[in-house]
């Protein structure tokens, strides 16, 4: 066993941390231009930690990615600046694994280069597929020269202004969902692609492009729009989502760690009842519990990342990380708000934004309830 990060990774991590501190956080409240930040990130040699080297990225493995993502996550702008934000990050990962050479040129290259944005259209409004992906209603029917897609999606993050969507669609209703669903690459300017709205949420947006509600209305695509193999949609979704849970966790832990840091800085200065807040046990308890949970979160995600990098199946570990980290991050931010009191609910610190934005993390990529069900079934099947 060895819990040590390589010296190169430590150095890289510290470089990302410095970049976030010196370049990104100061740009938070202004009209932060992402392109400017990306140029600076390129100059700093930290652009695209997860991107293939051939596309100008750092080509890092899962472990190093996760370490850097936490640092990038200290600002909600950080992952955008390093071009490792959802959903583009996961979509690029998917395309790099499954896209044909043509699909690469058309979609992956400009996406990697930051010239276009993308979205992932899986979730459907009721009565379609929410936490239960087998309830998918959107359907592609064979037509002359390709497929016709009909259905409704929502919470397609980044949809507004994106160049294309990766859409999860039933291509064969006669077989179970895990064999009859496929992924299609759908240009957003195709006739029949209609962005109904960006669904307003408690978090604001959390990135460019909002959370789109999309109508596929007799939308036609050729066979070449299929990503990967016909019928492999569920399998590929797992390939996309399993590591994506880890990178989500690490980005959010950056937010949580920063929240704790903000609260501690306040607690060291602010007085009440005759001493600094930091000297009150009720405040100390919140700080200690947040530290404990950050420590546990970090170890669990790193272990899963290490296992993923080895090529092992990490669905069980990734479910565990998702439940624990999503709930811990929400508690940690909540405690930071409480420590800061009135200041904490004001926009004078980023805590209130973090609080609103993080709430959805307990829901997307599988709500806690679904992962607990999965974890229990795994354990009941295999242990004891």
Please, are residues 130 and 142 in contact by the beta-carbon 8 Å criterion?
A: no
Least distance to a copy of itself, CB of residue 38, Å: 27
Please, are residues 55 and 229 in contact by the beta-carbon 8 Å criterion?
A: no
Least distance to a copy of itself, CB of residue 97, Å: 24
- Whole-angstrom distance, CA of residue 264 vs CA of residue 257: 11
- Which residue lies nearer to a copy of itself by CB, 207 or 228? 207
Which tokens sit at 374? 């999965």
Parallel, antiparallel or unpaired: strands 193-198 and 181-187: unpaired
Phi and psi at 130, nearest 5°, equal -110, -110
- Which residue lies nearer to a copy of itself by CB, 48 or 367? 367
- Whole-angstrom distance, CA of residue 20 vs CA of residue 77: 9
- Which residue lies nearer to a copy of itself by CB, 33 or 132? 132
- Which residue lies nearer to a copy of itself by CB, 230 or 373? 373
Least distance to a copy of itself, CB of residue 6, Å: 8
- Which residue lies nearer to a copy of itself by CB, 33 or 261? 261
Q: Which residues contact 159 (CB under 8 A, 6 or more apart)?
A: 119, 121, 165, 188, 195, 198, 209, 210, 211, 212, 214
Least distance to a copy of itself, CB of residue 203, Å: 7
CA distances from 174 to 7, 129, 136, 180, 231 (A): 54, 17, 13, 7, 11
Least distance to a copy of itself, CB of residue 323, Å: 6
Least distance to a copy of itself, CB of residue 22, Å: 16
- Which residue lies nearer to a copy of itself by CB, 100 or 368? 368
Least distance to a copy of itself, CB of residue 301, Å: 10
Helix or strand or coil: residue 180? helix
Parallel, antiparallel or unpaired: strands 164-170 and 118-121: parallel
- Which residue lies nearer to a copy of itself by CB, 131 or 150? 131
Q: Angle formed by the axes of helices 351-358 and 315-340, to 10°? A: 150
- Which residue lies nearer to a copy of itself by CB, 37 or 321? 321
Quickly count: other Cβ atoms within 10 Å of residue 232's Cβ: 19
Least distance to a copy of itself, CB of residue 10, Å: 12
Instruction: State the Cα torsion 337-343-348-354 to the nearest 10°.
Output: 10
């Amino acid at each position: 066993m060895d819990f040590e990060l390589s010296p190169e990774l430590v150095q890289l991590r510290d470089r990302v941390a410095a970049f976030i501190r010196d370049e990104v956080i100061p740009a938070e409240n202004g009209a932060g231009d992402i392109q400017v930040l990306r140029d600076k990130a390129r100059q700093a040699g930290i652009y695209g930690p997860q991107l293939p080297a051939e596309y100008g990225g750092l080509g890092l493995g899962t472990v190093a990615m996760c370490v850097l993502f936490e640092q990038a996550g200290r600002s909600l702008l950080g992952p955008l600046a390093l071009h490792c934000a959802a959903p583009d990050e996961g979509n690029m990962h998917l395309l790099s694994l499954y896209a044909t050479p043509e699909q690469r040129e058309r979609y992956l290259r400009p996406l990697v280069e930051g010239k276009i944005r993308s979205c992932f259209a899986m979730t459907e409004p009721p009565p379609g597929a929410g936490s239960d992906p087998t309830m998918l209603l959107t359907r592609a029917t064979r037509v002359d020269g390709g497929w016709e897609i009909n259905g409704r999606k929502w919470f397609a993050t980044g949809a507004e202004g994106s160049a294309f969507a990766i859409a999860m669609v039933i291509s064969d209703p006669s077989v179970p969902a895990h064999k009859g669903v496929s992924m299609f690459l759908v240009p957003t300017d195709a006739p029949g692609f209609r962005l109904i709205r960006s669904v307003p949420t408690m978090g604001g947006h959390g990135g460019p492009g909002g959370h789109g509600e999309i109508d596929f209305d007799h939308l036609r695509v050729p066979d070449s729009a299929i990503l990967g193999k016909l019928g492999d949609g569920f399998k590929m979704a797992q390939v996309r989502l399993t590591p994506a849970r880890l990178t989500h966790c690490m980005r959010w832990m950056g937010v949580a760690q920063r929240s704790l840091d903000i609260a501690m800085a306040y607690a060291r200065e602010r007085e009440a009842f005759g001493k600094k807040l930091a000297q009150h046990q009720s405040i100390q308890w919140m700080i200690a519990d947040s530290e404990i949970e950050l420590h546990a979160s970090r170890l669990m995600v790193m272990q899963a990342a290490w296992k993923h990098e080895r090529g092992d199946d990490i669905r069980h570990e990734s479910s565990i990380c998702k439940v624990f980290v999503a709930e811990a991050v929400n508690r940690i931010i909540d405690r930071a708000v409480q420590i800061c009191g009135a200041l904490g609910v004001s926009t004078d610190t980023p805590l209130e934004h973090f609080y609103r934005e993080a709430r959805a993390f307990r829901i997307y990529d599988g709500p806690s309830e679904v992962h607990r069900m999965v974890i229990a079934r795994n354990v009941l099947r295999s242990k004891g």
